[in-house]
Amino acid sequence: VRDSLDSGSILQTDGLTKEFLGFKAVSDVGLRVRRGSIHGLIGPNGAGKTTCFNLLTKFLQPTQGRILFDGRDITRMKPAEVARLGLVRSFQISAVFPHLSVLENVRVALQRARGGSFDFWRSDSVLRKYDDRAMELLEDVGLLGFTHRPAGELPYGRKRALEIATTLALDPVMMLLDEPTAGMTAEDVDRVVALVKRVAQGRTVLMVEHNLKVVEGLCDTITVLTRGRVLAEGDYATVSRHPEVIAAYLGT
Ligand code: ADP
């Protein structure tokens, strides 16, 4: 049964609400994420961004409301079912194994994405059939120069890139990125911005991001949350003009 999505939306929530002991962490949120867009979710600490992500990926069950993804009602689905439909959160399913090399990490992600459970005893030769695709993914995220390095030894920014590569192994239709530039140097931030642009081709991206320069540079549409509610929505120029956004978020 395909539920009716607003035309052009790949993800839609209606009246999405999550209460913790009577406290509404997310309150009556109606999101519309356009297919193919890069959509930003911003707001001060405690605004409900993480709770929203957990609701969308089904790690939390909503108290009220519904969630539609790609024509299906996913409100009551389990996390793995939602991931199988192509709604995938980076840094969640894709654990990075620090002692495996960068290439081995992507091989394992590909093997798991194609239905295999991760198997430490699996011989190298079995996993090598994934190498062509693994190298493509590593090229996409700019890690070709690091293929044989243990993942645990990668600089922080490169480790995040590897996490994105292992997420891409799942061939997501829509990616949720949780603060992809958090804790990065300016140089790493520029690299992640370029990477997200590349990753977003042919996909939809919803990202929580605190760095407003990054949001401005990447996001077509931005939803501003405060105290669990949508405060403003639109492109960067629109939301950054909103007086309450300036007061609540930009703090100027
Ligand atoms: P953000 O990601 O925007 O910083 P969160 O979604 O983490 O915001 O949190 C929103 C609000 O919900 C906060 O006030 C937080 O304390 C509260 N909250 C989040 N998770 C829980 C939980 N499991 N139990 C109780 N309160 C929670």
Asked whether residue 104 falls in the same domain as residue 57, the answer is: no
Q: What percent of the chain has pLDDT over 70?
A: 88
Is-contact 245 232, C-beta < 8 A? yes
Do both 89 and 196 map to the same domain? yes
Nearest atom in ligand 1 to the alpha carbon of residue 52 is 6
190 and 101 part of one domain: no
Among the candidates 121, 144, 169, a domain finishes at 169
pLDDT of residue 252: 47
Within this chain, do residues 164 and 252 fall inside the same structural domain, yes or no?
Answer: no
Same domain, yes or no, for 162 and 193? no
In percent, how much of the chain has pLDDT > 90? Answer: 64
pLDDT in tens, 83-103: 989 999 986 445 689 999 999
Q: Is 210 left (phi over 0), alpha (psi -120 to 50) or beta?
A: alpha
Q: How far is the CA of 95 from the centre of ligand 1 (A)?
A: 23
Q: Provide the residue range defining the domain that includes 196.
A: 1-93+173-252
**Number of separate domains in the chain:** 2
**Same domain, yes or no, for 165 and 179?**
no
**What stretches of the chain show up as alpha helix (H) in DSSP?**
49-56, 79-84, 102-113, 124-127, 131-140, 156-168, 186-199, 212-218, 236-241, 243-245
- 108 and 140 in a single domain? The answer is yes
Q: What is the value of ipTM here, to two decimals? A: 0.97
Question: Which of 16, 20, 27 has most ligand 1 atoms within 8 Å of CB, for mutation?
Answer: 20
- The stretch 174-191 carries a mean pLDDT of 89
Q: Is 56 in the pocket of ligand 1 (CB under 6 A)?
A: no
Averaging pLDDT over each range in 68-82, 184-198, 231-245, which range is the top one? 68-82
192 and 89 in a common domain: yes
CATH number at residue 3: 3.40.50.300
| Residues 146, 106 within the same domain | yes
Query: Of 130, 148, 169, which residue is a domain's last?
Result: 169
Tell me: pLDDT of 39 over 80: yes
pLDDT at residue 236 is higher than 70? yes
Q: Are residues 76 and 99 in the same domain?
A: no
- The answer to whether residue 183 scores a pLDDT higher than 90 is no
Q: What is the mean pLDDT of residues 121-140?
A: 80
* End-of-domain residue from the set 169, 184, 218: 169
83 and 12 fall within a common domain: yes
pLDDT (0 to 100) of residue 1: 47
